[in-house]
Structure 1
Amino acid sequence: MSNWPDRRILDLLNIQLPILQAPMAGASGSALAIAVAKAGGLGALPCAMLTGEQVREEIETFRSACPGLALNLNFFCHQPPVPDSAQQARWKQALERYYAEVGADFSAPTPVSNRAPFDEQSCVLVEQMRPEVVSFHFGLPEASFVQRVKASGAKVLSSATTVEEALWLEANGCDAIIAMGNEAGGHRGMFFSEDINSQIGTFALVPQVADAVRLPVIAAGGIGDHRGLVAALALGASAVQIGTAYLFCPQAKVSPAHRQALDTASASDTALTNLFTGRPARGINNRIMRELGPMSELAPRFPLAGGVLLPLRAITEAQGNSDFSNLWAGQALRLGRHLPAEQLTREIAAKALEQIAL
C-alpha cells in the first residue's frame, strides 16, 4: 500500500499506512500498539497513568514483537494544580448522596486521582528508550524538554483544537500537528482556552489548520472507517488518528461496563464533561453526567476531580455498573466493529485506497 496521495507523514514517521492509533490512557497498551504497528500504522503507548518502570516494560514488549517498527510514546504536559481543600470539600459534598446510596465510606480520606505531566524523569526515559515518536496532549512541555526529546531522535507531535493552537505548536518545535476536532473522544487537547464553545468540528478545523501551517496535519475526531480517512486526506490532512474505533478491538483494555456502553449507546449520546478529571473530555452519557450535568463548576482542576469518584467507581464497576465511570468515546462510535486491531487497520487503509483510485 504505497500509492498514497500525501506521503509526508509516512516518510516523517517511517510508517506504511497514514493511520495513527490514538494513545488512550487506561484503555490501550502494548497489545493494541503492536497490532496497529504490524498492520503498518503507528502504535502508541499512553504514559500519563503509568510508572516509569511500567512504561519501560511496555516498550520492551512492543520492541520484542515489532523489531524495527516505529512507536509513539504519549505524555500529558499540564501544569499540576495547587490543591484547594475547600473546593475539594464542596465537590465531595455534592456527591455525598451517592456515597450513601452505594455504601461507600464518606468519612474516609479521598483517594488521589493523578495524571503525571511530562517532567525530568519522563525526559530521561525518552532519552534512554529512544522512541521514534513522542506526542503530547495539552500543548507542549517547557522548551528545554522539547529540545531534548528532539535531540534523542524522536519526532514531536501534539494536538491542536484551534488554528491558533496549531500555529503555536508549529512555532515551538512540533514536527506535525494533530488537528483534533470536537467529535473526538477522551480529553480535549485544548490549551489556549478553557471554553468548550471554542471547539470546532473536524471538517472545519482540518482544512483551516492545513492552510495555516507548513507542517503535515493529522486529522482526529469522528474518523472510524475508510470514508473518514478519504475525507481527511481531501481536506488537506496527511494522515488520521483513530481512537474510538480501536476501543471495539479485543486488544483494547476497557471494562465490561465500558464495552456494553460502546455497544449500546447511540452516536448522539456523548457529551463533553469535566466531572471525571476536571478537564473537558468526551464520553458516553451516564447517570452522574445526566444528574449533575456534564460540566460542573464544582469539579476541581485537572486531574484532581477524579479522586472523589474512585470509591463510587470501585463499588459499582464490580457490579457491572457504569453510573460513576468515565466512558470515553467519540461521536463516531456507531462505526465501531468488533475486529482485531491489525485487521481493522488494514481494512480501513485498503478500502480508502480503493475509493481514492475511483
Structure 2
Amino acid sequence: MAQDMLTDEALNTSYLIIGILAVVIVFAIAFFIIKKIGKDPKNVLPVNLAGRIRIPLLIFLISLFLKVCLFQDVFSNTELINLIKHASTIGIIISFTWFLIVFLKVFKERLLKKYDVNTDNNLKARKVYTQFTILENIVIFILIILAIGISLMSFESIREVGLSLLTSAGIAGIIVGLAAQKAIGTLLAGIQIAITQPIRLQDAVIVEGEWGWIEEITLTYVVVKVWDKRRLVVPSTYFIENTFQNWTRKSADIMGTVFLYTDYNVSFDAIRAELTRLLESSPLWDKQVNVLQVTDATEKSVQIRILVSAKDSPTAWDLRVYIREKLIDFIHQNYPQSLPRTRVELPQQDQNPSEKVSPKTEDPSARKE
C-alpha cells in the first residue's frame, strides 16, 4: 500500500514537471510566432501585439495547466484542490477578458489608421476618434464588470448569498439607484456625448471662461487643455446641461477679430491698404476673409473692427496678435496725430486781460499822520 502511494506521488510529480515544461515551451513558441507575424507590416496583427498579450497568455496557460492537473487528480489535498479550482477559473476569466480588451484596442487602432487628426481638415477624423474612444471605454467597462461578476459567481458561498438577496432586490435596486443617481447620470451623459457629439477630440472650446482644446473624453469626465498648458477637468454632464462655446463644431477654420481705436482724422483707406499688405505677406492667413470696418464712433475716438480668417483657432490667435501689433506700429509711424486723444476746450473769458483795471493803491502822501 505504501509503495503504491509512493508510486502515485512520483507519478504526480512527474506530471507536474512535464506540465510546467509544456507550459514554458508552448508559451515560448506562441510568443515567438506572434512576435514574428507582427514584424510583417502586411499582416493584420500590430507589431507590439506580442508584448501586449504576454501576461494574459501566460496566465491562461498556467490556469489551463492547473485545470488539467485537477482533471488528472494530481493533487490530493482537498483544501488545495478547492484553492486551485477557484484560482484557475478566475485566471481563465481574467485572461479571456484581457484578450478581448487587447483585441478591441487593436481593432480600434486598425480602423482608425486611415483617419489622421493631424491634418488641417480633420473634422471627420475627430468625429470618428471621439465615437470610438467613448464606445471603447463603454465596452471595456462592461467587460470588466462581467468578468468580476462571473469570477464571484464561481464561489459557492457568494452565489448562495446572491440567491438569498433576490427577495429584497427591488428595495436594494431603489436604494442603489438613488445613491448612484449622479454617477449613472454622468455615465449616460458620456454615452450621449458619443452619440450626439456636442464636442469632439481637439475641438477648440471656451468652458468656464477658459479657452482651450478637448484633449480627452471619458465616460465620466472631459479634459480641456487650456492655452497656457493647464488642464481643466469637467464632468461629462457639464456639456449636456450648460452652455459653452465650440469654435470648431462644423469646421476647423475660424474668423478672428481685431479692434483698433483711433482719432477722427485717421486715413481708413491707408489702414485698409496696409492690412491687405500684411495679410498677403503672412502665411497665417488662409486668404478667405479680409474686412476693415468702422463699427463705432464716440466723442473721444472711432472704433475700427478688422475681421481676418485662418485655418484653425491657434493660427487665428497668432494672426490677430500679428495684425494688431503691425497696425499699431503703422499708425504710430505714419499717422501719430491720429492716435486716440482727449480734447479739452477752455471757455473764453469775458474781457481782455490787458483791459482789466489794476487794483488801486494808496498814496503814501495822503496817509494821515
TM-score (norm 1): 0.16
Instruction: Select the structure that is richer in helix.
Output: 2
Q: Which has the larger radius of gyration?
A: 2
Higher relative contact order (CA 8 A, sep 6+): 1
